[in-house]
Amino acid sequence: MQLLKDRIKKDGKIRSGNVLKVDSFLNHQMDIELFGEIGKEFKKRFEGSDITKILTIEASGIGIACITAQQFSVPVVFAKKNQTKNIAGDIYTSKVESFTHGRVYDIIVAKEFLSANDKVLIIDDFLANGSALLGLAKLVTDAGAKLVGAGIVIEKGFQEGGELVRSNGVRVESLAIIDSMSEENGVTFR
Ligand code: 5GP
């Protein structure tokens, strides 16, 4: 998606440890016009898939997921990163290793919000090593729901996640795939 690639080139900041900061339009301040275009692009790519629910993970996936969900007219469920007292009863759970923080945490979804009748599209901001996406996919599988695919805003193609998740049979649609990035040479796309 050219509009997104241009924005990453213009406003993305490359940090040590293979981290791309996109705080000015995606991860802190959010450019809602750009989000609208991203939502339309996901709609185009997953058109006809009969999606009943969008699943994402808190916090940075939620905004993108909501705008995409408007295109499909379906609810958004976001996996919570810790079990809170607000969720009582049965939950689906899996473990995710944080790429940016380097620790493992549990993610949960209440069973009442994912069922065997659901056709689920996962939406997330980044795909790096694939842990978040595989953790979300496990919640879908545990619920007996159908995983239609995953829509990713930025895939770091030089990390292993994309290959890992696709080799698990998951359809992944990434709007910008980064081939390489460095402070000296900037970002190159696939
Ligand atoms: P993975 O589980 O695929 O290793 O990492 C995906 C998650 O880590 C995403 O949900 C995203 O929040 C975060 N993440 C991974 N790489 C980056 C990055 O380069 N920049 C930012 N801002 N977040 C990232």
Give the tens place of pLDDT for each residue, 131-146: 999 999 999 999 999 9
The alpha-helical segments, DSSP class H, found in the chain are: 2-11, 32-45, 62-72, 131-142, 161-167
When divided into structural domains, the chain yields a total of 1
- Give the CATH number for residue 89: 3.40.50.2020
Please report the pLDDT score of residue 48 as a whole number: 93
Please report the pLDDT score of residue 83 as a whole number: 62
Please report the pLDDT score of residue 101 as a whole number: 83
Residue 62 Cα to ligand 1 midpoint, Å, equals 14
Ligand 1 atom 24, closest CA: 126
Ligand 1 atom 10, closest CA: 126
Residue 38 lies in domain: 2-189
Give the tens place of pLDDT for each residue, 62-118: 999 999 999 999 999 999 997 655 555 699 999 999 888 889 999 999 999 999 999
Cβ atoms of 149 and 127 within 8 Å: the answer is no
Pocket of ligand 1 (CB under 6 A): 19-22, 27, 60, 99-100, 124-133, 156, 161
Provide mean pLDDT across the span 23-44. Answer: 98
Say whether pLDDT at 23 is over 80: yes
Ligand 1 pocket test, candidate residues 94, 99, 177, most atoms within 8 A of CB: 99
